Chain A
Amino acid sequence: MACIEARGLRKSFGTTVALDGLNLQVEEGRILGLIGPNGAGKTTALNAIVGLTPYEGELNVLGQDPWNKRDRLMNDVCFVADVAVLPRWIRVCEALDYVEGVHPRFSRAKAQGFLAKTTIGPKRRVKELSKGMVAQLHLALVMAIDARLLVLDEPTLGLDVLYRKQFYDALLQDYFDRSRTIVVATHQVDEIQNVLTDVMFLDRGRIVFACAMDEVESRFAELTVNPENLAAAKALKPVNERQLFGRSVLLFDGVNRQELAALGEVRTPGIEQLFVAMVGSRAGRPEGVAV
């Protein structure tokens, strides 16, 4: 059974189409990065997955229909919208009490273990904590829940680089095991690319690219071409071209690396380069927008 299965997922707000017939299948044990420019439909897709928004089409999360069974689904799904959703009035100990009171899979000891590594005291109110501490608290609550699917929507938005790194490190080291699935939508592509097992680019409500990370390495190659070989390189049909320090950098999909190595310097492109190539080059969008 796939963890998430969507067929023809559609959602529009008035005349704006947020999701335009999404088909996707996420198997258990994957860490999927959902990457796209602002307004691409990332949040709408995640909201549909956790039952926050109605949709057209078929969607099945852990065997349930999220819109009609949100409360039941949330026994097995954790959702972190962004860092600012913990109620400001709540005390740390009250948050622990409440989640322990309503969630069958919450381990208070675990949460307290995570919090012990921070400077967050149990009597503090959320409104007295810094943004980074609120994110730590939310992560401690979420990681103490033995969930099967974790959905993160820009979880590190507005945090400084240290907190961001800590957030993903904690997630990988203390939380992720092969039986859990994580779906994360973010703008900070480069920071999570080592975390992901799969990547998906979303643009204007459609999936424009989806690939496993190990496949990215075998499929894609970026060639910093020697000027005299430019014509030969272009004959191999690069999917994207950019200029770097006066030299052409070409991106190839499924072209033999040995063949390319003769024409210049070859390396594996980062997710960010792929994203710019796949999404940035589409109809009139300036390159690198909102990466």
Chain B
Amino acid sequence: MNSASNVVNETPAQATAIAAGAISWSRRMYWCVRRELWESKSVWIAPAVAAAVTLVACSISAMRLPERLRTAAAADPMRQMNIAEGPFDLAGLLIMGVTFLVALFYSLDALYGERRDRSILFFKSLPVSDLTTVLAKASIPMLVLPLLTFGVTMATQTVVLLVSRAALAGSGVDAGAAWRHFSFWHSQGMLLYHLVAIHGLLYSPFYGWLLLVSAWARRLPILWATLPPLAVGLFEKIAFNSSFLAGWLANALGGGSGRTASAGSGMSMDSLTSPWPGDFLSSPQLWINLLAAALFLFLAVELRKRRGPI
């Protein structure tokens, strides 16, 4: 009963035209991003917890602020300024550090988790392309988290500022000198610029790499993401006594701009004053990074198309 052609027949074929998907790409994208936020609650819980911790710490510190300012007032106004701004900067740094870690771990699990729990079969049964899915997942570390970080940081810093001022006003210390050099809006603008430019754009190849590994690895994506670059770096060092890869990584992290305070300073608030947008946009490093990110994401899309559940 081997059949060359098996015709399951009868009903006349109807040339029903397939109505084109009436859903716009942006709407699909929106729901894919929301889906990510439902799944990865850490994306917003972690910054919120960091903000709460920061607020408690800053409130405790604010109680001692008048006394410290009084002692410093005798010395010099610059030191007074540092004392006043100290908690303010730290609040930003803490939240930024937390969201950076969240971004790394999110990226590493984004395309791995759906294969591990087989839900990739459900998501692939819906009219959403692999490209849309991967872009939605990439937008979390590259766009959503930087903006979320900005929002949470601004809210936190506003509260910190109000608490410090209230503490100072209550104690009757003249804080004018401390705040004279300080502009809230300028600092918020720099923060937003830093988050979008450095965390969103400049670091994009790192998220791209992690997404690629998470689409590829059958197990332990964290090892696949870290050990191969480490091995290549060590091999290079031993074989050629050079550190091209390490240098490239440091350069990529630092922004490759001469005005960057120091390599790898993306995490420090100092770098908020640099690089200048003009230099940043014209730096080859940025464009190399963006190209690398695009390549990694393209490969991740192709892998997701081919990979099924693990």
- Within 8 Å by CB of B127, from A28, A71, A80, A148, lies A71
Q: A230 interface residue, CB < 8 Å from B? A: no
- Interface pair B1/A87, CB less than 8 Å apart: no
Interface residues on A, range: 35 or more
Contact A75 B127 (CB under 8 A): yes
Q: Which residues of B contact A2 (CB under 8 A)?
A: 13
Q: Contact mask B79-115 → A, CB, 8 Å, 1/0?
A: 0000000000000000000000000000000000010
Chain A proximity mask over B39-52: 1 for CB below 8 Å, otherwise 0: 10000000000000
CA distance A24 to B22 in the complex (A): 31
Asked if B22 and A23 make an inter-chain contact with CB atoms under 8 angstroms apart, the answer reads no
Contact between B6 and A78, CB atoms less than 8 A apart:
no
Say yes or no: is B78 at the interface (Cβ < 8 Å to chain A).
Answer: no
Tell me if B76 counts as interface (CB < 8 A to partner A): no
Collect the chain A residues with CB atoms within 8 Å of residue B183's CB. none
Q: Does B8 touch A at the CB level, under 8 Å?
A: yes
B138 to chain A, nearest CB (A): 17
Q: Which residues of B contact A133 (CB under 8 A)?
A: none
Decide: B18 and A63 in contact? CB cutoff 8 A.
Answer: yes
- Closest CB of chain A to B158's CB: distance in Å? 32
Which residues of the other chain, A, contact B120 by a CB distance below 8 angstroms?
A: 85
Within A74-111, the residues touching B (CB, 8 Å) are 74-76, 78-81, 84-91, 94, 97-99, 101-104
B15 on the interface (CB 8 Å rule)?
yes
Report whether A210 and B125 are in contact in the complex, using a CB–CB cutoff of 8 Å. Answer: no
Q: Of B31, B117, B125, B130, which one neighbours A79 at CB under 8 angstroms?
A: B125
Q: Check: A212 CB closer than 8 A to any chain B CB.
A: yes
Q: Complex Cα distance A87/B5, Å?
A: 39
Asked whether any CB of chain B lies closer than 8 Å to the CB of A225, the reply is no
Please tell me if A200 contacts chain B, counting CB pairs below 8 Å. yes
Interface positions, chain A 207-245, Cβ under 8 Å from B, are 207-210, 212
Interface presence of B21 (CB below 8 A): yes
| CB < 8 Å A-B pair total | 150
Query: B16 at interface (Cβ–Cβ under 8 A)?
Result: yes
B28 near A101 with CB under 8 A, answer yes
Q: Given A70-B124, A101-B27, A28 and B13 touching (CB < 8 A)?
A: yes
Q: From B4, B19, B122, B125, name the one whose CB has the most chain A CB atoms within 10 angstroms.
A: B125
Closest residue of chain B to A68 (Cβ to Cβ) is B305
Interface: A26 (CB within 8 A): yes
B237 interfacial contact with A, CB 8 Å: no
- Residue among A71, A78, A94, A197 with most chain B CB within 10 A: A71
User: Which of chain A's residues has its CB closest to B10's CB?
Assistant: A27
Known interface pairs A76-B18, A86-B119, A104-B21. Does A212 touch B9 (Cβ–Cβ under 8 Å)? Answer: yes
Docked CA distance A251–B130 (Å): 50
Select A207's contact among B6, B18, B27, beta carbons within 8 Å: B6
Taking the closest CB of chain A, its distance from the CB of B130, in whole angstroms, is 8
Which parts of A181-222 form the interface with B (CB within 8 Å)? 197-198, 200, 206-210, 212
Residues in chain A within 8 A of chain B (CB atoms): 1-2, 23-30, 32, 47, 50-54, 62-63, 70-76, 78-81, 84-91, 94, 97-99, 101-104, 138, 148, 178-179, 197-198, 200, 206-210, 212, 278
Top 4 nearest A-B pairs (CB, nearest first) are A101-B31, A210-B6, A87-B119, A29-B11
